Amino acid sequence: MRKRPLGQNFLVDTAIADSIIELADLKKEDDILEIGPGKAVLTQRLLPLARSLTAIELDPKLCRELENRFKNETCSFKIIEGDAAKFDYSSIKPGFKVVSNLPYYAATHIMKKLIHFGSRIQSMTLMMQKEVVDRLTAEAGNKEYGSLSVYVQYHCQVERLLEIPNTAFTPRPKIDSTLFSLKPRPQPKVEVQDPQLFFKIVNAAFFHKRKMLKNNLKAWKNNFKNEHGQICLAGIDLSRRGETLTMSDFANLANYIYSSNE
Ligand code: SAM
């Protein structure tokens, strides 16, 4: 049987590794969580900077190598052998910063899990596939804009930090990567009465990207209104497509439906 791939594209460009550490904006008193330390290109640079460093790595062989290599470290260093997509981040003291070159195959999944624990996290400096980061940072009207953009921007401030070519890794992946930062917001970007309903509407609006909202939002057709010959919801013309709606437009839709159905 073929071994399960673990997204092990190791960063070998040391100048880029130095830039990543600089951009992570770390302080001496920071507790850092690194996901997927691999062969420690980032770990070895993080250790002298941190008060503590916890690393989660799925590959048992790499875990043993890291334990041996860093056993005499003065900073408190702990390696957890486990799956970052399943890890319970509430088991770590709150206020930590995450730094990671995420494994591509699970990057979105792990990022969403981290966002779920966002109130415990100061900042995340993450590297992912460029195409995915294009979606995370996209604004309304951009062709990359979709439910993932809304989800991430609702919970976090997103900033693109560095573009990294595929030549910086061994083995070399087919695609380029981007380093970006996520800062969990103390309050979501928009005020919504029912966040679950808000995300249900957002997901429905983008379900068939090329379709008009009146088709994607049929589940709420009882709330549709005919205004000046247009089918509207909360004053929004439903012949538009989901990709043209800002986060505030989605919040208006959700709050309107919420109060109409109360
Ligand atoms: N940090 C190293 C670097 O920059 O070269 C390695 C990055 S490599 C893209 C991803 C790392 O995550 C690998 O070491 C891999 O074994 C590990 N990994 C893969 N899946 C994981 C998971 N679900 N949880 C934790 N670590 C994982």
Chain segment 151-175, per-residue pLDDT in tens? 999 999 999 999 999 999 999 999 9
Q: Where are the beta strands (DSSP E) in 108-262?
A: 121-129, 156-164, 169-170, 177-184, 225-227, 230-233, 236-237
Domain 10-184 superfamily per CATH: Vaccinia Virus protein VP39 (3.40.50.150)
- Confidence band for 79, pLDDT divided at 50, 70 and 90: very high
Instruction: Write the residue with the smallest CA distance to atom 10 of ligand 1.
Output: 103
Domains in the chain: boundaries: 10-184, 195-260
- Phi, psi dihedrals of residue 247, rounded to the nearest 5°: -60, -40
Does 6 sit in the ligand 1 pocket, CB within 6 Å?
yes
Q: Measure the CA–CA gap between 193 and 61, rounded to whole angstroms.
A: 48
- Mind listing the pLDDT tens digit for each residue in 178-237? 999 999 999 999 999 999 999 999 999 999 989 999 999 999 999 999 998 999 999 999
Question: Which helix H or strand E contains 160, and what residues bound it?
Answer: strand 156-164
In this structure, which topology does domain 195-260 adopt according to CATH? Helicase, Ruva Protein; domain 3 (1.10.8)
- Ligand 1: residue of 12, 23, 45, 57 to mutate (most ligand atoms within 8 A of CB) is 57
Does 7 sit in the ligand 1 pocket, CB within 6 Å?
yes
Strand order in the sheet with 225-227: 225-227, 230-233, 236-237
pTM score of the predicted model: 0.95
